[in-house]
Structures are given as C-alpha cells and as structure tokens.
C-alpha cells in the first residue's frame, strides 16, 4: 500500500506540473481515475483496492499538494526519498533552546535494594479488525487478509485462526478482550501508556465514523477491564485518522482539520486526562500531565514528524510548534526538579530529518530530566540509542520500542511491562527492566489435547522474556544498552537471540550479513539517516565489515 501511495504521488505531481491539473474542480475526477488506472496496471493492488484508496485519498491529497506548490521532483522526494528527487520543502530548521546552561550530568546509579518500583503496562498497535473471520484465507490478493471477503484457503494451515493468524492479518475483538482480561489479572498497574494505532490495515475502505467507533470501543474496553482507578496516558497513532497518516497542522481549519478526531479523543479520554491536557489534545493531539509529584509525562503527536503525513508538504517546520512547546515543558520541569517520560507512536529515528535531529538536540540538552522514552509503530521489540552530540560516544538515552498487540505481519500478539525506579524521594524514574508477554498462536488456536481445529477457550498470555535476564544485564540504563550493542557485534548468538525476541518468538530465518548491518544501524541512532550523514557521506552502501569495524570503535 505504501508503494502504491508513493507511485500515486509521482503521477499526481507529474500531472500537475505538466498542466493536466489546471483546475481542481474540473480535473479532480480525471486525476483520480488516471491514478487508479496506473495502480491497476502496475499491479500494486487489485482493482477494487486501487479505486477505493484513490477515492479516499483524492480530496485531501490534491488540496495539500496544491497548497504546497511543489515541483514534481520535490513531491517525489518528499514521500519516496532522495533517490526519487530533491525535497527542499523539508529544508533544515532549528528550534530555540533556552540560554539556561545545561546542568552537570550525574551518571545514574542503581537504586538501593528494596527501593520501590513502579509497574507500567504498555499497549501499542492493537489494530482491531471488525471484519476478521476465522476460517477465511490468510493468503489473499488484498493488503489485508483473514477477513470476510478474503475467500477461503485451499488447505487448512493457511486459514485464519480463532485467536489470530501469522500473516498479513490483524486481530479479532475477542483477542483484544482476552489480552485486557489477562492484563487485569496480571496487575495491579501503577499506570498505563498506550501509544495508538487502533484501526486495522484496511486503509482503502475506512470512514471517519468507523474510526470513531473503534476509538470508542477500545478506549471503553481498556477502561472497563483495567478499572477506573488505573490512569491511562494515550498517544495518537498514524492509523487513527482517515485517510491514514493524514494529520493537518492546526492552521488547517474546517472539515479538513483533525478536530473531528481530537474532539472525540478528548471525550473518550476525559476520565484519564486533566483539563489542561485535554485543551492541548483538542488543538494538536499532544499534552502533558503530572503523573505524581516528581514525575511528568509528555505525550507527543508523532504524526507531525512523519514523512507519510502529506499535509507537511505545506509546512513542515515544527508543525503545531510542538517541539518548541516540548522545550518549554522540559525547562519548567528542570527548574522544578521533575523527571519526564516521553510517549509517542512513531520512533524518532524514523521521523523527517530536521524533526528528528531537533528532537535529538532536545534529548541531549535535557538528558538529566528525560528519564524514559516509549514508542511503538514498528510492531517489533527493539530500541534506538541516543549519544552525546559532541562526540557521539557517550550513551545518554534510549527510546524503547515495544512490540505490537496485532499479529501484522507474521507475529505473535504481544504487550510490554516496564519496571521503573519508583515513587520515593530522589527516585531517578529510570527504566530498570522490562518484560514482553505474548499469546502463542500455535498453542492458542489448537489447544493441547484437543482436536486440531479446536482453539483454547481462554488462552493465557505468557512471559516471553525479561530483558535483564535474557541479556545478562544489571539494569537497562543507556550504558547497559551500549554494552548490549557491543555484544551484538562481537557475539552473533546474542544478536540472534535479540532477533528472535524482536519478532515476539516467531521468526523462521536468521538475520545475517546485510540484514544484521541494517538492524544494527537502526538501533544505533535515534536520528534519521544519522549513519549515512556521519559515516558514509560518499557511499550509499555500508558493508557488514565496515559496520562491524564502525561499531567496535564507536561502542567502546
């Protein structure tokens, strides 16, 4: 689907610059049909999906493209990348940091034995599919299968399971309920972080009413199962809107704005959030709240950093002034001696270049205040490192990326539990450990001792691993992750264990050579294309040998 959208951008841009789209009102239908025809000819999806997604994206995309005044090469570079064209529209920009000197940095020390710890439940990427149907085909021509219109498989092993399916399938509601039932029993929880992506991946056939219904259903289920005394701090995913990834900055008003979504979120999340938090949520989809004395949470709308958010073609310079607002919040927390946790959906290393690098500056400046970063989006169990900018050798932060609830693609369902330094005077509020729990679909869909087609009635979510035990670490501070990165380079068995756990215990092949290099590069930096800029300015390829040498030198 993403390939199709990128191709569509190229076609739309070319048509615009060559004068085919000289009048929005008269040529809108013609452009949509031309792009749909191209999608079909390129075999990017079947005809129904091509026509539906073109129709869904048409109005918003053309309006944003016209207002952006992009040349074709710029539009192509914006959504496809530098291999396609130059994207000057995303030229570098800088946020303003206060002139207050950065306080001296004190390396973290482990808490005293017996010190309180807080347990945080972390949910992300639920992707509930209302059309999921057990017994349907897990192999279909559409981008999403295991649905009522997916047909039926020719052999049983490729049919949708009762609790979920390995493949390009999302989850039935019963699995989400089962997760919440088990999570409630595994409590109590001090609080919950929930970083979005509620709807399924049928992005070609979604409506605002459907998105709002799914928002309400899942929000109320979380409230019901976890109870009224557990506070949930949500963040917005890229799938909450329709069209997907479409999040206009606040300067876009009227029906094209995101007010339809933010207002509904404010209503559903009002039992959890303060009046002031709801105010900024309604404006831009982000907020801050005091969790308890000494600890604050900041929930960012990471769609304002996303390359796929085509509204940023109009203006990508700190959309909604969110990063400048973040600096203000962090400075106030530093002044008061508060610690801050940041939650968001898209990890910072996957953001637009200038946004990502500005965020990196902020993490560097406020490293003593920011004691946790928590993200989702990739569906995998991984992390991104932050180092001091002067030398890029001293580890100072970790962006934890938790695994998805959904199976999409070819995964077990999962959720995360974080253990952080707890509520006492002088607490660091740093992450000490984390656990990943999964629902083993092979077992859940075929109960032990039952006929092959009989699923378990109430499957249990089991501990896959605890990080400190799995990797032999004493804690999960940035320095510990730095040593873990060294181990990945020097000991392939440790890396292959990470690769297995990264996919929630369901992976069929080892990750070697170029695969391993790519993964190490992604883990190494929370800055977009950092390694390419710093380490291989004249080359598009970093070999495995070069990567090993590089990491050996830089991670010492």
Q: Tell whether 333 and 417 lie within a shared domain.
A: yes
Q: Tell whether 251 and 195 lie within a shared domain.
A: yes
**Contact by Cβ (8 Å): 162, 200:** no
Q: How many structural domains are present in the chain?
A: 2
Winning range, highest mean pLDDT, from 21-35, 76-90, 109-123, 140-154: 109-123
Over the stretch 411-434, which tens digit does the pLDDT of each residue have? 999 999 999 999 999 999 999 999
Residue with tokens 């009002």: 270
What CATH number did the domain enclosing 401 receive?
3.60.21.10
The pLDDT of 317-324, averaged and rounded, is 96
Q: Tell whether 70 and 190 lie within a shared domain.
A: no
pTM of the model as a whole: 0.87
Confidence of residue 9 (pLDDT cuts 50, 70, 90): very low
Over the stretch 497-553, which tens digit does the pLDDT of each residue have? 999 999 999 987 899 999 999 999 999 989 987 655 544 433 334 444 444 444 444
Q: Tell whether 428 and 335 lie within a shared domain.
A: yes
- Would you list which residues are annotated within the binding site for Zn(2+)? 125, 127, 197, 238, 345, 377, 379
Q: Tell whether 376 and 435 lie within a shared domain.
A: yes
Sheet holding 232-234, edge to edge: 232-234, 191-194, 117-123, 414-421, 431-438, 462-466
The DSSP symbol for 231 reads: -
Confidence of residue 175 (pLDDT cuts 50, 70, 90): very high
In a domain, 148, yes or no: no
From the number of C-beta atoms within 10 Å of its C-beta (0-12, 13-18, 19+), residue 294 rates as middle
Residue with tokens 């959904």: 406
Q: Tell whether 47 and 123 lie within a shared domain.
A: no
Give the number of C-alpha atoms closer than 13 A to the C-alpha of residue 264, restricted to the C-beta side.
Answer: 19
Phi, psi of 431 (to 5 degrees): -75, 125
**Contact by Cβ (8 Å): 158, 116:** no
Report the distance separating Cα 384 and Cα 514, nearest Å: 19
Q: Tell whether 64 and 184 lie within a shared domain.
A: no
In a domain, 153, yes or no: no
pLDDT at 314: 81
In a domain, 137, yes or no: no
- Domain of 56? 1-80
Q: Tell whether 123 and 74 lie within a shared domain.
A: no
Name the β-bridge partners of 465: 436
In a domain, 99, yes or no: no
Residue with tokens 């992009």: 70
CB atoms < 10 A from the CB of 455, how many?
Answer: 16
* Three-state SS sequence of 254-310: HHHCCHHHHHHHHHHHCCCCCHHHHHHHHHHCCEEEEEECCEEEEECCHHHHCCCCH
Coil, helix or strand for 160?
coil
Q: Tell whether 428 and 542 lie within a shared domain.
A: yes
Q: Tell whether 430 and 287 lie within a shared domain.
A: yes
Q: Tell whether 393 and 522 lie within a shared domain.
A: yes
First to last CA, the chain: 41
CB atoms < 10 A from the CB of 137, how many?
Answer: 23
Positive or negative: CA dihedral 273, 274, 280, 282:
positive
In a domain, 26, yes or no: yes
Determine the distance from the C-alpha atom of residue 57 to the mean position of all C-alpha atoms in its chain, rounded to a whole number. 22
In a domain, 151, yes or no: no
Give percent above pLDDT 90 in the chain.
71
Q: Tell whether 325 and 423 lie within a shared domain.
A: yes
Please give the structure tokens belonging to residue 279: 């105010």
Q: Which residues have a Cβ under 8 Å from the Cβ of 525 and sit 6 or more positions away?
A: 349, 384, 385, 386, 387, 531
Whether residue 333 is predicted with pLDDT greater than 90 in this model: the reply is yes
In a domain, 146, yes or no: no
Give percent above pLDDT 70 in the chain.
78
Report the distance separating Cα 512 and Cα 517, nearest Å: 8
pLDDT at 313: 79
* Three-state SS sequence of 335-399: HHCCEEEEECCCCHHHCCHHHHHHHHHHHHHCCCCEEEEEECCCCCCEEEEEECCCCCCCEEEEE
Positive or negative: CA dihedral 269, 274, 280, 283:
positive
In a domain, 341, yes or no: yes
Report the distance separating Cα 75 and Cα 85, nearest Å: 8
């Amino acid at each position: 689907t993403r390939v199709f959208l990128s191709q569509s951008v190229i076609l739309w841009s070319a048509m615009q610059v060559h004068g085919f789209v000289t009048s929005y009102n008269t040529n809108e239908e013609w452009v949509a049909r031309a792009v749909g025809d191209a999608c079909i000819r390129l075999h990017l999806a079947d005809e129904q999906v091509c026509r539906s997604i073109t129709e869904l994206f048409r109005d918003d995309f053309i309006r944003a493209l016209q207002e952006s005044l992009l040349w074709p090469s710029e539009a192509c570079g914006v959504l496809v990348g530098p291999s396609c064209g130059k994207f000057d529209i995303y030229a570098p920009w800088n946020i303003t940091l206060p002139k207050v000197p950065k306080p001296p940095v004190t390396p973290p020390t482990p808490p005293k034995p017996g010190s309180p710890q807080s347990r945080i439940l972390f949910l992300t990427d639920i992707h509930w599919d209302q059309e999921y149907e057990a017994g349907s085909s897990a192999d279909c021509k559409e981008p999403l299968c295991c649905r009522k219109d997916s047909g039926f498989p020719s052999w049983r092993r490729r049919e949708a399971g009762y609790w979920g399916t390995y493949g390009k399938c999302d989850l039935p509601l019963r699995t989400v309920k089962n997760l919440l039932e088990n999570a409630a029993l595994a409590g109590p929880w001090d609080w919950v972080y929930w970083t979005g992506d509620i709807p399924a991946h049928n992005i070609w056939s979604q409506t605002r009413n459907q998105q709002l219904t799914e928002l309400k259903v899942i929000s109320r289920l979380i409230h019901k199962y976890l109870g009224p005394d557990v506070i949930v701090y949500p963040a917005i995913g890229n799938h909450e809107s329709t069209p997907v990834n479409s999040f206009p900055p606040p300067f876009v008003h009227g029906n094209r704005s995101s007010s339809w979504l933010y207002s509904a979120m404010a209503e559903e999340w009002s039992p959890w959030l303060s009046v002031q938090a709801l105010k900024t949520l309604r404006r831009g989809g982000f907020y801050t709240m005091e969790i308890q004395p000494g600890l604050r949470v900041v929930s960012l709308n990471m769609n304002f950093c996303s390359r796929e958010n085509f509204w940023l073609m109009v203006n990508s310079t700190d959309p909604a002034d969110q990063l400048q607002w973040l600096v203000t919040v962090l400075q106030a927390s530093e002044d008061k001696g508060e610690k801050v946790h940041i939650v968001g959906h898209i990890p910072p290393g996957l953001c637009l270049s200038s946004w990502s690098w500005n965020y990196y500056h902020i993490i560097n400046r406020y490293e003593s205040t920011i004691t946790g970063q928590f993200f989702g989006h990739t569906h995998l169990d991984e992390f991104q490192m932050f180092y001091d900018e002067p030398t890029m050798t001293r580890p100072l932060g970790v962006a934890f990326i938790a695994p998805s609830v959904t199976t999409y693609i070819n995964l077990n369902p999962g959720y995360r539990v974080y253990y952080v330094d707890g509520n006492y005077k002088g607490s660091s509020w740093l992450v000490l450990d984390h656990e990943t729990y999964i629902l083993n679909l092979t077992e859940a869909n075929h109960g032990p001792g039952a006929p092959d087609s009989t699923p378990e009635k109430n499957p249990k979510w089991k501990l896959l691993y605890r990080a400190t035990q799995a990797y032999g670490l004493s804690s999960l501070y940035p320095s510990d992750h730095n040593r873990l990165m060294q181990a990945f380079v020097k000991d392939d068995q440790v890396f292959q264990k990470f690769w297995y756990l990264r996919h929630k215990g369901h992976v069929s092949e080892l990750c070697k050579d170029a695969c391993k290099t790519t993964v190490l590069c992604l883990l190494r930096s929370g800055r977009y294309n950092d390694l390419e800029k710093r380490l291989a300015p004249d080359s598009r390829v970093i070999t495995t040998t070069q990567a090993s040498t590089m990491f050996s030198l830089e991670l010492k």
